[in-house]
Homo-oligomer: A and B are copies of this chain.
Amino acid sequence: MHAAKPLPSYLINRYKSWKTTTYLENEAWFRRLATEGQHPRAMVIACCDSRVNAISLFGAEQGEFFMHRNIASLVPPFNPDGEYHGTSAAVEYAVTGLGVAHIIVLGHSNCGGVAGCHDMCAGTAPQLEEKTSFVGRWMDILRPGYDRVKDIDDEASRRRALEKEAVVISLENLTGFPFIAEALDSGLLSLHGLWTDIEEGGLEHYVPETGFQPV
């Protein structure tokens, strides 16, 4: 692998600062976590977006959140076809391997992935329709959501509604995984849908009867 480079020194310096502060004051806990394994209470499925950090948002500590992050925090439908399914693998490991009690799907405002899906479905981003577009094909997961919001006249409202549909569709797809359905039935797991507003620092959770509500 001729292309890999050493870490830039500013990151090395910052790591050394972490080592002498965060690591040092949590050393016993890190050692316990290493020898006894992780027992996270929740899995969080969040977006890759650099502006949204669920660990900070919820003041989570080492060992607390099993974090999967992908474009637009999407969960594809259950489809055990023997191919690579990174999200499904993460969900399977969290529920059947680690026994998390919660799966939290966290959507957010100003989501570039959702915006791409909107434009693709609206016909203004044909490049995302191409078979070779990984982003376009990934956002296909959200296409059923576009159908639910396409009649909203105001564009900003439509885009925001689609961001929230991404959360709802992911929750729906999660219930299609047999091991999740089983854990839900036995009361060992609960699902939660959230959407956060980067600009205002707002947070809404999904209530099936009434839709998204400020927490």
Contact = CB atoms under 8 A, between A and B. Distances in A.
Contacts of A27: 187, 190, 201
Contact of A137 (B11, B85, B137, B215): B85
B53 A66 contact: no
Interface string A68-109: 111100101000111111111111111001011110100001
A69 B68 contact: yes
Given A39-B39, A92-B134, A137-B89, A31 B186 contact: yes
Contacts of A15: 57-58, 203, 215
A5 B184 CA distance: 11
Given A208-B4, A215-B12, A137 B82 contact: yes
A140 B83 CA distance: 9
A14 B58 contact: yes
B59 A13 contact: yes
Interface in A1-55: 1-15, 17-19, 22-41, 43, 48-51, 53, 55
A198 interface: yes
A28 B188 contact: yes
A64 B29 CA distance: 13
A28 B189 contact: yes
Say how many copies of this protein the assembly contains.
4
Interface in A104-147: 104, 109-110, 112-113, 131-135, 137-141
Nearest to A68: B48
Given A70-B86, A84-B137, 11 more contacts: A3-B191, A9-B25, A10-B61, A15-B57, A26-B101, A27-B190, A28-B187, A51-B62, A81-B131, A89-B113, A91-B134
Interface of A: 1-15, 17-19, 22-41, 43, 48-51, 53, 55-71, 74, 76, 80-94, 97, 99-102, 104, 109-110, 112-113, 131-135, 137-141, 168, 171-172, 174-175, 184, 186-194, 197-199, 201, 203, 205-208, 215
